[in-house]
A and B are shown apart, each in its own frame.
Chain A
Amino acid sequence: DTEVTQTPKHLVMGMTNKKSLKCEQHMGHRAMYWYKQKAKKPPELMFVYSYEKLSINESVPSRFSPECPNSSLLNLHLHALQPEDSALYLCASSPARQTSSYNEQFFGPGTRLTVL
């Protein structure tokens, strides 16, 4: 199974809502990532988890809160978002960062988020 799954596919939320995005992989990967992609722009790295610990936060606003409850799951909790946060949110995973095989990242199809 070389698949990264993301749910939901689409999400519409108001600025006062709280919602969560979910990402799952069963490849035994120990590094997981969140990216944000605005329309017609390249993906931008948001967070990196390594062995279930947050290792990188690319100065992301606190209204985005990541969580890695176990080695297969990655969540992104959303609260008090702004319309400019509307984007495609991509999850990815890769083998453990410390190994030499750490080369390829596997991406999910993304969650299309619209903030009204």
Chain B
Amino acid sequence: DAKTTQPNSMESNEEEPVHLPCNHSTISGTDYIHWYRQLPSQGPEYVIHGLTSNVNNRMASLAIAEDRKSSTLILHRATLRDAAVYYCILRDVSYGGSQGNLIFGKGTKLSVKP
């Protein structure tokens, strides 16, 4: 499985935007870029995913580099509730591939200051 590299930790101020980077230089054409987050004492939850184009949903935006070797999760206005570990995961959904299993890396621990 292609690997991802994320900073161990990041800090943000409440109500400011947060840009969480992820490098995935060995990404293949059939890898989707997924982001999950895990709040304290909870199971992970899906945030967003994309293949080539930038994506927006109610939780966040995902900006994908043109060469797909990196991506950035953007939280437009961080709240205290956004403090969590954010995981960037590549999922190969091609037939015969790993069939989309989630292989978690170490993730980025985001702290949000009031």
Contact = CB atoms under 8 A, between A and B. Distances in A.
10 contacts: A42-B87, A42-B106, A43-B102, A45-B103, A55-B99, A56-B101, A94-B100, A103-B91, A105-B46, A109-B43
Interface residues of B, number: 23
Contacts of B104: 42-44
B94 to A, nearest CB: 12
A110 interface: yes
A45 B102 contact: yes
Interface of B: 32, 34, 36, 41-46, 49, 85, 87, 91, 93, 99-107
Interface of A: 4, 33, 42-45, 48, 55-56, 90, 92, 94, 97, 102-110
Given A42-B105, A42-B106, A102 B100 contact: yes
Contacts of B93: 102-103
B47 to A, nearest CB: 10
A107 B105 contact: no
A100 to B, nearest CB: 8
For the residues of B in contact with A, the DSSP-based class is loop
Contacts, number: 51
Nearest to B34: A103
The 8 closest A-B pairs by CB, nearest first: A107-B43, A42-B104, A104-B46, A107-B44, A43-B104, A90-B43, A109-B43, A108-B43
Contacts of A4: 43
Nearest to B47: A104
A92 B43 contact: yes
B5 to A, nearest CB: 14
B46 A106 contact: yes
Contacts of B105: 42
Contact of A103 (B32, B41, B44, B87): B32
A44 B89 CA distance: 13
Contacts of B100: 94, 97, 102-103
A4 B45 CA distance: 11
A105 B102 contact: yes
